[in-house]
Amino acid sequence: MTDERRIRSIAIVGGGTAGWLAASILARAAPAGTAISVIESGQIAPIGVGEASIPPFIDLLRLLGIETHEFVRATGATYKLGILYRDWLAPGHEYWHPFGTFGATVGRRPFHHYWHHAVAADLNPRIAEFSLCAALAEAGKFRFPDPRAQGVAAGMRYALHFDATTVAGYLRQFAAGLGVQRYERTVATATRRADGFIDEIIFTDGGRLGADLYIDCSGFQGVLIEQVLNSGYVDWGAVLPCDRAVAAPTAMSAAPPPYTLASARSAGWQWRIPLQQRFGNGYVYCSSHLSDAAAIDDLLGKVGAPLSEPRVLRFTAGHRQRLWSHNCVALGLACGFLEPLESTSIQLVINGVFNLLDHFPDRDFDPANIGAYNRELIEEFEHIRDFLVLHYWATRRIDTPFWRDVQTVRLPQTLVQRIELYQGTGRIRARAGELFTDLSWFYVFAGLGLRPAAPDPLIDATARAGAQRLIQALQQNIAREVRGAPSHESYFAAGQPAAADLPGSAVPG
Ligand SMILES: Cc1cc2nc3c(=O)[nH]c(=O)nc-3n(C[C@H](O)[C@H](O)[C@H](O)COP(=O)(O)OP(=O)(O)OC[C@H]3O[C@@H](n4cnc5c(N)ncnc54)[C@H](O)[C@@H]3O)c2cc1C
């Protein structure tokens, strides 16, 4: 690439979480001298939900140079150690998808193979005996990972629960500090050059703005990627039929637990996300099985009086056919949507920006480069789709038509292969770069009662005997760490010392 062909200006349409995350990362990473602007409408509100993240969000804060404590204080965030799934396999049943390590590798074999032996031997092992994150979450406690520690604390990971609108506001200020220009305007449409590339965006007040690269973060409507470039949509409603959500915040009724609760309901599932000042609640449901009015009644019946009017949101699982088309890249809700069952949307925005940096164009916009970007991000969407579909397909609930239907969907071939490998051998083999590792898949397989037909042949009686001592040591270490850890709520109590100074805490990420 010659310097004359370099991208000189980037215009980001949309000032929700996606727009300000993109602006913040690009302002740090794009070549010096690139002018970055964000256009946000004063008339069209951001979606304002999106309250749970996954651990790479902490890595992003570090990369941006944002101090985690400062971010938590300024945004009213709480810490998250994983997700507790309630009533999915059957009413009354619970399972964990915690963050961090699980057990320890013994003789190069992942610990979940020893777990299968323990289950087969009727030892009734519990995930929380081998996962510090699950154990702390169950106890309502929290501590930071300690990279200097030798034991289980070294393998801890955590994420945050936060208010998406507050986070967008925080990042707006942060990006402004890095020189990002903000315009409060509403985009009406855009003009295109003879080759189809976007020339200028046109505001409703008649003003215009031109840039070399456009990033569409305008939410579900996709003002540029769909309304101007007609990208098309790949609809996954056949395998992920939930298409609505009703969201209703409630007052703090209890200490905030350090985890997201995802409870299966008659036509979908309900989230409870603790923030410092309130609970975020919502019911994700399938409109052909439940009306909006019934979903609202159902949710309020569970969570009590809301702090604001319940909001119904409509969506279709899937993604734009082309996430990057011509000189426009779509991110966030403008590029696709997967229900928040594993809190992946905001991470998909972050991965999209990193992928854009890995394929950063010049003004020739090499089609092979654009094709590579699209393939990589679509693979990521498909990987997450498969993971979400597993949560529904593997349940054994048959108490409502919704639960009977989701167990009969035609599974994507990529998921069939993963299930067959696991059911045969207990192996998973997530590919490098996939968002969910073998361990995440294991938690859902095991949580929903899927068992491999044959144990790992490399784990014989000698290996099991060797592992036994380690297993006891692990259980003791985890119990000791949990005893010494502060309660989660103590991190937010007024007048408390900074979290890093609390007993049992190590350096935050
Ligand atoms: C029910 C639900 C629950 C969710 N829960 C989670 C979760 O737990 N975790 C997670 O990671 N994600 C979650 N998400 C996804 C998350 O909310 C979004 O991925 C994230 O907030 C990014 O949204 P966005 O910025 O793409 O869109 P929005 O927040 O909708 O922002 C769009 C922006 O574009 C601007 N805009 C729109 N049209 C125009 C125009 N014509 N001109 C100028 N500006 C315009 C708006 O003013 C706004 O600033 C959830 C989503 C839903 C629907």
336 Cβ inside 6 Å of ligand 1: no
CA-347 nearest atom, ligand 1: 11
Please give the share of the chain, as a percent, with pLDDT higher than 90. Answer: 84
Ligand 1 atom having least distance to the Cα of 315:
53
pLDDT digits (tens, 9 = 90+) for 22-57: 999 999 999 999 999 999 999 998 888 868 999 999
Q: Say whether pLDDT at 184 is over 90.
A: yes
Q: Answer whether 270 contacts ligand 1 (Cβ < 6 A).
A: no
Atom of ligand 1 nearest to the CA of 14: 34
Burial of 242 (0-12, 13-18, 19+ CB in 10 A): buried
CATH numbers and ranges of domains, the chain: 3-51+163-235+320-366 (3.50.50.60), 99-155+383-484 (no CATH), 244-314 (no CATH)
The pLDDT of residue 501 is 38
Confirm or reject: Cβ of 180 under 6 Å from ligand 1: no
Are the beta carbons of 488 and 141 closer than 8 angstroms?
yes
Q: For residue 277, how far is its CA from the centre of ligand 1 (angstroms)?
A: 22
The closest residue, in CA terms, to atom 4 on ligand 1 is: 50
Kindly state the DSSP code that residue 179 receives in the 8-state scheme: T
Q: From the CB of 345, is ligand 1 less than 6 Å away?
A: yes
Give the model's pLDDT for residue 502: 41
What are 190-225's pLDDT values in tens digits?
999 999 999 999 999 999 999 999 999 999 999 999
Per residue in 399-418, pLDDT (tens digit) is 999 999 999 999 999 999 99
Is 222 within 8 Å of 334 (Cβ atoms)? yes
Higher pLDDT, 461 or 486: 486
- The span from the CA of 144 to the CA of 185, in Å, is 42
On the question of pLDDT at 398 being above 50, the answer is yes
Q: What pLDDT, in 10s, does the model give residues 217-272?
A: 999 999 999 999 999 999 999 999 999 999 999 999 899 999 999 999 999 999 99
In which element (H, E) is residue 307 found? Answer: none
pTM beyond 0.85: yes
Mean pLDDT of the chain: 93
Instruction: Judge if the beta carbon of residue 249 lies within 6 A of ligand 1.
Output: no
Helix residue spans in 84-229 (DSSP H): 111-120, 132-139, 164-177
Residue 500 has pLDDT above 50, yes or no: no
246 alpha carbon to ligand 1 midpoint, in Å?
Answer: 15
